[in-house]
Structure 1
Amino acid sequence: MKRSCRHMMILSTIFFALTLGGVGWSQELTKVRLVHVAFSSNQAPAWVAREAGFFQKQGLDVEIIRIGGSSKVVQVMVAGEVGLAHVGASAAVEAATAGADVAIVAATVKRPQFRLMANPAIKSIAELKGRKVGVTRFGSSTDFLVRWGLVNKWGLTPDRDVPLIQVGGIPELLMAARAGAIDAAPLSTPDDMRVEDIGWKELADFSTLGLDYMTGTLASTRKYIRSNEDVLRRFMKAFVQGIHIMRTDKEFTRKSLERFMRLKDERILEAIYNQEILKGLEKVPVPSLAGVQTILDELSGKRPAIKGRKPEEFVDARFVKELQESGYIDALYRGGSSR
């Protein structure tokens, strides 16, 4: 009898301790749905953070879903079907200027990590005239970058001089390239390397054109943010841990990227890690106001009514800034591994 009572006391103590520690058997994780548009490294931090268990430690169950094309993702987000989305910055800003309830909360990369690739018959930008350039969807990052380059750097008029063809998503761009349905396309690693394997060549590197532009943009609706501020704070803690582990733990990151990007090509994985993660991934993913201004400048040419709008109107950076100002992010890099 005494032994039975003693066992019951021990079990009760363990249960009480676990409950106080926030790891109780009955604890339910808060569900968060996140959409991404591409299997790219700049949209991988949430996946890596989930695989490392960071979201679970923050009491979150993050479901990660892929939908092709930023414009379509914005529609899904505004409809309230998801809480957060990796979406092209241009699509998010353009939707917001049209009255959509959208705000950018983070950005993993602040220079466009895209190259304009073309079939080997095209030797120069000038030879794009009359050729079909593929983009994912009109209003997406790929669409914006091509239009910006044609107008601001290469003296060509989109659609009139160079037809732009929307095909759906990055996988569809690759299929169109292989089928000869398009002559050129903006692609990031590893997709630029995949078209190199069929003979395509680089015409331009967008990262060298002096453009302030965000990719890996994380957005939400202001309605979701107002209703889930605590969730956003916990999400962002795990998210910046995901960025940290990507920059500091190569082995774990490469294994995680194999699953996220669905590839095992060592050559491509090495290029992604060295070129995109170490050189491009921001330690502190605060949205770039200069990057938003770039988009506003481009949009104002089509819609003069938005001239005078301020970049701050389209950004809610407080969740990243809180972590930055508290020293949380610096502490990650001083302390070594996040795991």
Structure 2
Amino acid sequence: MKYRKHIAVVLLAIGSLLLATGCRDSRTIPTEHGRPQITIMVGGLEKVIYLPAMLTEKLGFFKANDIDVKLLGEQSGATAETALLTGDVQAVVGFYDHTIDLQAKDQCLKTVVQFADVPGEVELVSKQDADTIKSPKDFKGRNLGVTSLGSSTDFLTQALAGQEGLGTSDYTRVKVGAGQTFIAGMNHNGIDAGMTTDPTVAKMVTSGDAKILVDMRNEQGTRAALGGLYPAASLYMRCETVTSHPDIVQKLADAFVQTLRWIKTHTPEEIAAKMPAQYAGGDPKLYVKSITDSITMFNGDGLMKPEGAQNVLRILGQYSRNVSPVKDHIDLNATYTNEFAAKAQGVRQP
């Protein structure tokens, strides 16, 4: 009898633990009235590089594919990946390179829709330093703005400097976030140069507060800066989630690929009109310009180009402390799949 009671107590404890932690397991996707309930964290909802996330919601493509999606904003991709690993969200819209970086830490993340083949990032130099910082070789002794340490902007900053023979001891990486915090950092001498995206780029260049040093919003600029493509904005999930819920992953892929195709057939003005008014920051014309300058980055099909994935591994293998020691053991095939985006090509537009 005592043995039975002991077993009962143990089972009750395990059940209570599962109940308490189940809501934080990203492999478990809750449903309501038969519809999957997905929470996606986006590394900056207002950033043009991640525009497909909110645009998909505004176009109604999530609901058209019979899923309910909640979008959460987070300025740092590094923080977003942590939320995914802890089970707070089921997916992330962020940079593909996190899937490689995490594999080096024995964690498995997989990109299921690739939005862009280039970073969409720009290295800006402040107006007061524009005469002395002409290229990344002038980064020595400078304060360089990144979203956060360990973020994709951090990797890319190290890559730009590293190709000029500079190591991280030659300059200082400063966490300045994005948007207004980035602008404040540059305008108040917190950073001499820094990496950011539109609409921040459009605001600072138009105001005259900064100049473009390196432009990675298009293929030509990216190949010149990084020696090849650098696939960036994507939808990635834990590998366990992809394996356990392929039907739900397919619904997400269908929705995002429909949006990528929609982008290719509509003007920046039409795209801007679908986005939340506050994203324009009170200047609709400037917001349209920011979309115009970045919109060619989106690939239209959601597919990863193997060439690009290989170049990301090459760069991280040189400049990421996590990836460098294990670069020869990274399995790129485990970091992305084209299965869902390829199948989505046959889905008709609503």
Q: TM-score range by the shorter chain?
A: 0.7 to 0.9
2:172 corresponds to 1:163: yes
Correspondence for 2:256: 239
3-state SS of 1:103 partner: strand
Deviation for aligned residue 1:262: 4.6
1:194 alignment partner in structure 2: 203
> CA–CA distance in 2 between the matches of 1:75 and 1:160?
27
C-alpha distance in 2 between matches for 1:134 and 1:235: 33
Number of corresponding residues: 301
Q: 1 CA distance for matches of 2:311 and 2:150?
A: 14
The percentage of aligned residue pairs carrying the same residue is 19
Q: Deviations over 1:167-207 (max 9, x none)?
A: 34454322312322111111222111222215211122234
Larger displacement relative to structure 2 (164-173 or 69-78): 164-173
Please, what TM-score do these two structures have when normalized by structure 1?
0.81
Q: 1:300 to 1:49 in 2, by over 3 A?
A: closer
Amino acid in the other structure paired with 2:287 = L
Query: Does 2:336 match 1:318?
Result: no
Residue type matched to 1:273 in 2?
A: I
User: Shift in Å at residue 163 of structure 1?
Assistant: 1.3
The answer for the alignment partner of 1:133 in structure 2 is 144
Partner Cα distance (1:313, 1:225) in 2: 11
**2:333 aligns to what SS in structure 1?**
helix
1:268 aligns with 2:286: yes
Partners of 1:90 and 1:140 within 8 A in 2: no
Match of 1:122 in 2: 130
Tell me if 1:36 matches 2:46. Answer: no
Tell me which moved more, 300-309 or 70-79: 300-309
Write the distance in 2 (CA, Å) between the matches of 1:103 and 1:316.
Answer: 7
1:217 aligns with 2:234: yes
Which residue of structure 2 lines up, in the alignment, with residue 11 of structure 1? Answer: none
Deviates more, 1:239-248 or 1:168-177: 168-177
In structure 2, the gaps of 5 or more residues are 1-31
1:67 aligns with 2:74: yes
How many angstroms apart in 2 are the aligned matches of 1:28 and 1:322?
23
Q: Which segment is superposed worse, 297-306 or 225-234?
A: 297-306
User: What do residues 135-185 of structure 1 show as CA deviations (whole Å, max 9, x unaligned)?
Assistant: 011222211111111112x3322x222211123445432231232211111
Return the letter of the residue paired with 2:104: T
Kept in 2: contact 1:30–1:61 (CA 8 A): yes
**Structure 2 Cα separation of the partners of residues 34 and 181 of structure 1:** 32
- Tell me how far apart the structure 1 counterparts of residues 62 and 86 of structure 2 sit (CA, whole Å): 24
Structure 1 unpaired stretches of 5+: 1-25, 333-337
Q: What is the CA deviation profile of residues 284-318 of structure 1, one whole-angstrom value per residue up to 9, with x for unaligned ones? A: 11123323222322333343333143421211221
> Which portions of structure 1, spanning 4 or more consecutive aligned residues, are displaced by more than 6 angstroms?
none
**Is residue 2:103 matched to residue 1:96?**
yes
Q: Distance in 1 between matches of 2:102 and 2:48?
A: 25
Aligned 8 A contact 2:42 2:53 in 1 = no
Distance 1:247 1:41, change over 3 A: farther
Distance in 1, matches of 2:290 and 2:188, equals: 25
Give 1:80's aligned residue.
87
Q: Which structure's CA Rg is the greater one?
A: 1
1:274–1:219 distance in 2 versus 1, CA, 3 Å: same
Cα distance in 1, alignment partners of residues 279 and 118 from structure 2: 21
User: Structure 2 length as normaliser, TM-score?
Assistant: 0.79
Partners of 1:48 and 1:90 lie apart in 2 by 23
